[in-house]
Amino acid sequence: MATADETLAISDPERRALAALDRADPRAALAVLMEAYGTPLYRFCRQLVGDDALAEDVLQMTFVQAHDGLPRFARRSSLSTWLFGIARHRCLDALKAARRRRARFQLVADPPEAPDGGAAADERLAARSLRGALRRCLDKLAPAVRTAVLLRFQEDLSYPEMALVCGARPPALQARVARALPALRRCLESEGVRP
């Protein structure tokens, strides 16, 4: 029978990954982390780099780099915070490379909508309109600002966690987000969308 600790470990990807590291098994740790954080990291990267293929490439590079770093992981932050820090660096590298190719911040078309039987057509249209406008407005923010907004609102990170990911102090990040919100609101209103 599993002990309480073992049950807790199985329910928590961080603990499972750390346990794998304790067993000197970084591949097992990486498998746990990819399953737990692959989707949020992809979402973060996709909205930072603005391109499906580039986002997957950055996601892959993030986990390849994580695999190399896992044996030396110092446990000064959570594994998820550490992963977001790696992903942020790789995204910024990708953005700079894309800039050099003059393909920076290209807006991609909205992905096809999944049928939603519950919502009325006009509600779906409004949601799609808001989502598209929000994506365009997020895209207009500087990468550092966009990063802070995404981590704050989508990944629900605390400011101390964001500071570890972004390498900036929490007050600077708080100010960055507080300045971004009115800019986003004005941008949405200019697109005819009222939040």
User: Where along the sequence are the contacts to other proteins (CB under 8 A)?
Assistant: 30-31, 34-35, 38-39, 42-43, 46-47, 52, 55-56, 59-60, 63-64, 67, 96, 99-100, 102, 104, 111, 114, 130-131, 134-135, 138, 142-145, 149-150, 153-154, 156, 159, 167-168, 171-172, 174-179, 181-182, 184-185, 188, 194-195
CB of 2 to other proteins, least distance (A): 26
Query: Which residue lies nearer to other proteins by CB, 8 or 142?
Result: 142
CB of 12 to other proteins, least distance (A): 20
With CA atoms as reference, report the closest residue to 82 among 92, 67, 97, 95. Answer: 67
CB of 19 to other proteins, least distance (A): 20
Query: Which residue lies nearer to other proteins by CB, 3 or 125?
Result: 125
* DSSP designation for 118: S
User: What would the DSSP string read from start to end of 17-53?
Assistant: HHHHHHTT-HHHHHHHHHHHHHHHHHHHHHHHH--HH
CA–CA separation, 119 and 121 (whole Å): 6
Residue 108's CB: how many other CB atoms inside 10 A?
Answer: 11
CA dihedral 69, 70, 72, 76 (to 10 degrees): 100
Query: Which residue lies nearer to other proteins by CB, 121 or 178?
Result: 178
* DSSP designation for 70: G
CA–CA separation, 147 and 92 (whole Å): 10
With CA atoms as reference, report the closest residue to 148 among 30, 68, 47. Answer: 47
Query: Which residue lies nearer to other proteins by CB, 75 or 102?
Result: 102
* 88 and 147 Cβ atoms separated by less than 8 Å: yes
CB of 14 to other proteins, least distance (A): 18
CA–CA separation, 23 and 45 (whole Å): 30
CB of 9 to other proteins, least distance (A): 21
CB of 1 to other proteins, least distance (A): 31
Query: Which residue lies nearer to other proteins by CB, 7 or 39?
Result: 39
Query: Which residue lies nearer to other proteins by CB, 88 or 176?
Result: 176
